[in-house]
Amino acid sequence: MAHPLDDFYAVIPAGGVGSRLWPLSRADAPKFLHDLTGSGQTLLRDTWDRLAPLSGEHRIAVVTGRAHRAAVERELPDIADRNVFLESEPRDSAAAIGLAAAILVAREPDVIIGSFAADHVIRGTRTFEFAVQQAVEVARAGYICTIGIQPTEASVGFGYIKKSGELDVDGAPEAATVERFVEKPDLETARSYFADRSYLWNAGMFISRADVLLDELARNQPELHAGLIELAEAWDDRERRGPAVDRVWPRLTKIAIDYAVAEPAAERGRLAVIPGHFDWDDVGDFASLAKLNSHGRNELAILGQNARVLSDASSGILVSQTSRVISLIGVQDIVVVDTEDALLVTTSEHAQRVKGVVDALKLTGRGDVL
Amino acid sequence: MAHPLDDFYAVIPAGGVGSRLWPLSRADAPKFLHDLTGSGQTLLRDTWDRLAPLSGEHRIAVVTGRAHRAAVERELPDIADRNVFLESEPRDSAAAIGLAAAILVAREPDVIIGSFAADHVIRGTRTFEFAVQQAVEVARAGYICTIGIQPTEASVGFGYIKKSGELDVDGAPEAATVERFVEKPDLETARSYFADRSYLWNAGMFISRADVLLDELARNQPELHAGLIELAEAWDDRERRGPAVDRVWPRLTKIAIDYAVAEPAAERGRLAVIPGHFDWDDVGDFASLAKLNSHGRNELAILGQNARVLSDASSGILVSQTSRVISLIGVQDIVVVDTEDALLVTTSEHAQRVKGVVDALKLTGRGDVL
């Protein structure tokens, strides 16, 4: 990018532990604070680096929990203090993104915000930038715009966005309206979606004028909207922010932005989509982490700078966070995650069940390793 | 046993690391110093407890490496100092058992010795004692006698002993002569052996007059025999033992007792066998350790007093030597061995390949974990 987009502000919601990546991801070391690609830096930092050319470094806001403030500032030393929005406790994505929208619109009425998860992996910078540029054009035209990923397989791990007609917006040749959102499908349905090119993966990227997004939220979640406006009015006043947070935060509705904003907007024909042709993954579980890090089938992917591994006829993924010697012999599609206080052994096939273990650990009083 | 056998001395060769049980077994923590059955005590101590009623506690000798002296004395606090025979370096089983025979015969010319590995698992005390009592009768009659285990399956993991004719010895109704020894067979051969009840597993148990055993050794390995006699003559003299060991030990022939004594004796019709009907296992690898510790198919056996395990739809064996939480999800016939400085993940099917890893670790300069 030669120049950032003048009216664009990037928002990075950095919440979500990533339970299905336990014991790598923890409450105190969530997914976005890990290097899951071997890039040498965290997913959060990757996200920042991807957005900075679009918005400029001084126009990236991060919404995160108080517990992660220090880690976020360590990863992003150039972030302005006023661009770190701290949640006193998690209230799901509508509250996180809505808060950012409300604060930013109070500072800059015509601002366009784009929200991008802190813990997704994207490859293909120019294609990504082209998609965001188009989405910003569509947002300027008054739509809420999402970027839907053009599927590369019949995945059952993602929700889908059904495109309908083309949308005529200058500078956005690929824009279309969204007919509807669909939840994660079964395999047969996923295959039919994959064959029908009008279904895209829902990557949770939303680009919109902040005021348009807030209007949509007011329409569907008036109480949540009122709370966020109350917070935003007090936010930039050091004396008023604390009391406002104490007063408002506990009663903010917990709801995903998809339900509170995107789906209702789609029903009213106000949601647009730009197809994203770049590689994207939400790294939802170890199966996807394995796929992301392996260079071929029947290979063992290894994550961990100091891994001491001796592998014989094994494939899958090994995550090493200790200095122990690890030997894998004759295990296929294995998932081994070796940390100081917890060890996980499973297979790609069962990667989705890791969340159940986390729930069981909570119930059985072993929350010390979560 | 009401009374021990007067002329019987038990010998426990406690050598052998048990490489195929790495990283549980180590040079400094060999197999015989582990509790592999959940009995609450080491295999060495189990062996002592099994032999004490037969020989009396003051007539059990242990042949072990200098490095293990402290551990052996900790496990066997009642062992007499004069019954600990220390090897300056491993010289295989003919040297270990031959040394014990030579020392003991010098002390007691008519002694009958029985050697029993320190790291095998036996269940069925009365049946075991009955077999040893018969073997001692056969030994008194001048034979070298082994106890061969009546197979319970067509195992390819053990060598076999082929019985031939019955042997008429008072007090040994099951005695037979041995036709030959056979190495570990392939599966088809193992099946034919199993169908033919005259093949027994070679469990490495030898009972013989010490002088008879030494005569056989002299016939087949005269140099080794001469060295052992030279050592034994000096052994009980504190001033002479050290110089004799320094002089003789480095040139002792490395050979297994099977080749140096048992097989040649069998060829001359001097080897007898008593069938052992007790449960026996040499716990040679993790597959056999899993079988030994599981109470049924599709179950996860857990070894480790402080194991913190959360298992879901998994089977096999987990050995835990740390306080880490270990979660296994959907892994079948898995072998997981979790120690402070090394982790092994394999399957029962590949258990035999663990030794290859140990060799590779040696070659790649990671001997610190061996």
Per CB-CB distance under 8 Å, the chain A contacts of B356 are 312, 329
- Candidates A334, A343, A354; nearest CB to B324: A343
pLDDT in the model for residue B298: 77
Q: What is the rounded average pLDDT of the residues A106-120?
A: 97
B333 → chain A, closest CA residue: A331
Query: A353 vs B312: CB contact, 8 Å cut-off?
Result: yes
Percent of chain A with pLDDT over 70: 99
Per the CB < 8 Å rule, is B327 touching A357? yes
Q: Is A216 on the interface with B (CB under 8 A)?
A: no
State residue A1's pLDDT score. Answer: 58
Q: For A240-258, how does the pLDDT look when each residue is reduced to its tens digit (9 = 90+)?
A: 999 999 999 999 999 999 9
Q: Where does the pLDDT of residue B2 fall: very low under 50, low under 70, confident under 90, or very high at 90 and above?
A: low
Question: Which pairing describes strands B199-209 and B279-281: parallel, antiparallel, or unpaired?
Answer: unpaired
Q: How far apart are CA B12 and CA B14, in angstroms?
A: 6
Above 80 in pLDDT, residue A111?
A: yes
- Find residue A144's DSSP bridge partners: A271
Residues 6+ apart with CB under 8 A from B367: B361
pLDDT digits (tens, 9 = 90+) for B261-275: 999 999 999 999 999
How many pairs of residues across A and B have Cβ atoms under 8 Å apart? 128
Domains of chain B by start residue, with CATH: 8-281 (3.90.550.10), 286-369 (no CATH)
Taking Cα atoms as reference points, which of A197, A151, A154, A155 lies closest to residue A176?
A197
Asked if the model's pLDDT at residue B1 lies above 70, the reply is no
Contact assignment for B329 to A353 by CB distance below 8 Å: yes
Q: CA of A155 to nearest chain B CA: how many angstroms apart?
A: 22
Which chain A residue has its CA at the smallest distance from B360's CA? A310
- Taking residue B170's Cβ as centre, other Cβ atoms within 10 Å add up to 10
For the sheet with B342-347, list strands across it: A308-312, A325-329, B342-347, B334-338, B316-320, B300-303
- The residue written with tokens 């998932």 in the block is A335
Question: Which is it for the CA torsion A326, A331, A337, A341, positive or negative?
Answer: negative
> Is A313 an interface residue toward B (CB < 8 Å)?
yes
Which tens digit of pLDDT belongs to each residue from B331-364? 999 999 999 999 999 999 999 899 998 888 888 8
Tell me whether residues B327 and A342 touch, CB distance under 8 A.
yes
Q: Please indicate if any CB of chain B lies within 8 Å of the CB of A354.
A: yes
Q: With pLDDT > 90 as the criterion, what percentage of chain A qualifies?
A: 87
Give A231→chain B minimum CA distance, Å.
42
Residue B307, chain A, CB below 8 Å: the answer is no
- Measured in residues, chain A has a length of 370
Say if residues A307 and A318 touch (Cβ distance below 8 Å).
yes
CB-nearest partner of B343 from A313, A324, A330: A324
What is the reported pLDDT for A16? 82
Beta-carbon separation of B330 and A336 below 8 A: no
**Is B2 in the A-facing interface, judged by CB distances under 8 Å?**
no
Contact A338/B343, CB-based, under 8 Å? yes
Contact check, Cβ <8 Å, A312/B356: yes
Judged by CB atoms closer than 8 Å, whether chains meet at A354 and B329 is answered as yes
Distance CA A307, CA A300 (A): 13
| Contacts B323 to A, Cβ<8 Å | 341
CB contact under 8 A, A350 and B341: no
Distance from CA of B357 to the nearest CA of A (A): 7
Peptide bond into B23 cis (omega under 30): yes
The partner residue sitting opposite B346, judged by closest CB among A330, A341, A366, is A330
Whether residue B344 lies within 8 A of chain A, CB to CB, comes out as: yes
Please indicate whether, in this complex, the C-beta atoms of B347 and A330 are within 8 angstroms of each other.
yes
Residue B329: strand, helix, or coil? strand
Cβ <8 Å between A324 and B334: no
The shortest C-alpha distance from A188 to chain B (Å) reads 24
What is the reported pLDDT for A308?
87
B362 touches chain A (CB under 8 A): no
A271 Cβ neighbours under 8 A, 6+ residues apart: A143, A144, A145, A146, A177, A178, A262, A265
Please list, in sequence order, all residues whose beta carbon lies within 8 angstroms of the beta carbon of residue A165, skipping any fewer than 6 positions away. A176, A177
Q: Which helix (H) or strand (E) holds B325?
A: strand B325-329
Q: What ipTM does the predicted assembly reach?
A: 0.82
Given a contact cutoff of 8 angstroms between Cβ atoms, the answer to whether B337 and B20 are in contact is no
**Separation of CA A15 from chain center:** 9
> Per DSSP, what are the bridge partners of residue B115?
B11, B206
User: What is d(CA B206, CA B135) in angstroms, rounded to the nearest whole number?
Assistant: 9
pLDDT beyond 90 at B17:
no
Residue B191 has pLDDT above 70, yes or no: yes
pLDDT greater than 90 at residue B307: no
For chain A, give the mean pLDDT.
94
Segment A130-151 mean pLDDT: 97
For B219-278, write each residue's pLDDT tens digit.
999 999 999 999 999 999 999 999 999 999 999 999 999 999 999 999 999 999 999 999
Contacts by B102-105, CB closer than 8 A, 24 or more apart: B102/B210, B102/B214, B102/B228, B102/B229, B102/B231, B102/B232, B102/B235, B103/B61, B103/B231, B103/B232, B103/B235, B103/B236, B104/B9, B104/B11, B104/B61, B104/B210, B105/B210, B105/B211, B105/B214, B105/B232
Chain A touched by B353 (CB under 8 Å): yes
Interface contact B357-A329, CB threshold 8 A: yes
Residues B236, B82: Cα–Cα separation, whole Å: 8
Q: Give yes or no for residue B200 having a pLDDT over 80.
A: yes
For residues B19 and B337, which has the higher predicted lDDT (pLDDT)?
B337
Interface contact flag, B353 A325, Cβ < 8 Å: no
Is B346's CB within 8 Å of A329's CB? Answer: yes
Contacts of A340 in chain B (CB under 8 A): 324
Query: What's the CA gap between A246 and B222, in Å, rounded?
Result: 92
Closest CA to A12 of A84, A107, A80: A84
- Closest partner residue to B357 (CB to CB) among A312, A339, A366 is A312
Q: Which of A343, A349, A355 should be substituted to probe chain B, the one whose Cβ sees the most B Cβ atoms within 10 Å?
A: A343
Copy the structure tokens of residue B315. 């089977």
Checking if the pLDDT of A297 tops 80, the result is no
Interchain CB distance below 8 Å, B353 and A310: no
Rounded Cα distance between B247 and A197, Å, is: 84
Q: pLDDT value at position A2?
A: 57
CB contact under 8 A, B344 and A324: no
Question: In chain A, which residue's Cα lies nearest the Cα of B334?
Answer: A331
Whole-angstrom distance, CA of residue B268 vs CA of residue B271: 8
Residues of chain B positioned with their CB less than 8 A from the CB of A313:
350
Residue in A324, A345, A356 closest to B331 by CB:
A345
Q: How many whole angstroms from its chain centre is CA A217?
A: 20
- HSE-CB of B255 using CA atoms within 13 angstroms: 18
CA distances to B12, B151, B232, B262 from B102, in Å = 15, 33, 6, 17
